[in-house]
Structure 1
């Protein structure tokens, strides 16, 4: 109850602080540049000034937060990547040379590549299929709500749920893990699924696919509803069946949206961290780049230089996809 009280108190304080900032800054601005009780020319001038300043009062906190929590960390990470473990001595490209020759880093790159191959494709595919199917049934909105619900769960919370699904007990013991219970019910032997090298990556990927399918479904469902009815009616008149309409009429018209969803999930996959940390902590050859960076920078490694070098690598991998995604999204918006 104490934790709940503090959580409610924190949220209330945050809301009150936002309200106070909103009214306070506007009140101060109107006091400095009043528009009431002045001559027409002066009032008009002050009104133009306040209209020019007021948007920046709203954007100010967000810009400050972006600077402190995004811009500064990027600059500091690039700086640390070229320094030693303490961040004091300049070492040039030594951290990047170590990174290329490190076996765990290469394993992380390989695992991230597997995630990139599977998760965006699977989440987008399932999201598209579900979006198309739920639009055709009367209880489609209920189904969409249920499928979207995992998006409301944190990655760590989802990992805890799936840890119970993958839970392992010794053979002969009662299996509380859903997957092993099913396997034993069909006469198989229980397995410690997340400890099996290589395959455990796919068991972890299922968690992110489960979460992101709801996101893909919502975006693609909106895109499907935006397809002009005339094109679908024309296809039906021409004798096209359901599959032909779906693959040859509907998908080509929403291909840009599919690409945006795909690349958005791809960016998320490159930064995947919480699931691996909560499920395996990178053990059993399941390490990924973000978790490796965390290990070197904050845990047993304690090497700011190497951790920052891995962070810069993740950033370099993400930036081209992010730029392409933004450009494609702008084209989509411009087209509508």
Structure 2
């Protein structure tokens, strides 16, 4: 019996890699090494003193090429496994990086914020629920809660209501595209830009400083025989004038989404209702609205969450003064003006808790309608 030729170390490694266990470990080890190489490259680019243009070009090539390499190598290795392991591991090849990013940039910061919310302003000493007591008892915070509720009810109601009304009416005109383009146009403007624009609309400078400077709204009031008013300095109606900006921005979004849903309603269904004697109001409330109920829920939920997190408009227009403060603006003030990270963290957690029930309700409604 002849002796088998002795395999070299390289051949032994190759034979081991062809086994099931070897392939499994390789499918985990190689992507991990690739990810670490990409991470070290990011650190190098971040700390490099090279010209900015070169860093940008290298970052784009490194980032896009590295991610493509990471996915390609990982997928190739997994496909070398048996069918059962391919079914188990391949989904994680594509969702794994997304999960890692969410864990690093969302879950961990949330946990850190939660820990800081039980500490003092410098984040050194444990103070228990003192920051949460401040969040729910301080006069300014109670005012912010009231204003956010006002934004949520009136802002969301008018945005969704006007968006739905315009979607229905514009669908019946020959100039539908023109009207929708005009109404949707504010969505192309940033919230800060919208605040600056409307600050000119509400502009007012009293008569005691020389020539009176007025905005568009005061010009209209004076033209009608009235007197110019400092609209943003008159609580609580100044909140209503700020909510108008949100409605101006969000109505176009609601209109486009709801218009798409309305166009998806079978025309035969609407014609059958009209033939049976239903008037336009009955067609609208008994057929259109129930049919697009899931879309209405999605749009409403999105705008409600936006109203809870509202910051830009208030910050630009009033800075939260004159009774217009909101939760997100108070968080900004506590963190960056008063340098109290404990209170700021507690406010951030309160805001997160306020958003969660809306999201849970939305998910439950989707599950009932088998949306996913």
Whether TM-score is above 0.5 comes out as: yes
Question: Paired residue for 1:313?
Answer: 350
- C-alpha contact 1:260 1:328 (8 A) present in aligned 2: no
Q: Does 1:167 align with 2:211?
A: no
- Which residues in structure 2 correspond to 1:16-165 (within 5 Å)? 16-29=61-74, 33=77, 45=81, 56-165=92-201
Distance in 1 (alpha carbons) for counterparts of 2:268 and 2:56: 49
Question: Paired residue for 1:40?
Answer: none
Question: Paired residue for 2:293?
Answer: 255
Distance in 2 (alpha carbons) for counterparts of 1:15 and 1:147: 37
Distance in 1 (alpha carbons) for counterparts of 2:265 and 2:175: 21
Q: Secondary structure at the match of 1:117?
A: helix
Aligned in 2, Cα 1:25/1:99: closer, same or farther, shift over 3 Å?
closer
Q: Cα distance, 1:170 vs. partner?
A: 2.9
Tell me, which stretches of 5 or more residues in structure 2 are unaligned? 1-50
Aligned in 2, Cα 1:8/1:126: closer, same or farther, shift over 3 Å?
farther
Tell me, which stretches of 5 or more residues in structure 1 are unaligned? 1-5, 36-42
Larger radius of gyration: 2
Deviations 1:52-72 (A, max 9, x none): 656545444433332233212
Q: Does 1:293 align with 2:331?
A: yes
| TM-score, length of structure 2 as denominator length | 0.77
Question: Paired residue for 2:231?
Answer: 193
- Which residues in structure 2 correspond to 1:170-181 (within 5 Å)? 170-171=206-207, 173=211, 175=213, 177-181=215-219
Count of aligned positions: 320
Q: Secondary structure at the match of 1:173?
A: coil
Distance in 2 (alpha carbons) for counterparts of 1:118 and 1:279: 19
Distance in 2 (alpha carbons) for counterparts of 1:17 and 1:48: 33
Alignment RMSD: 2.8
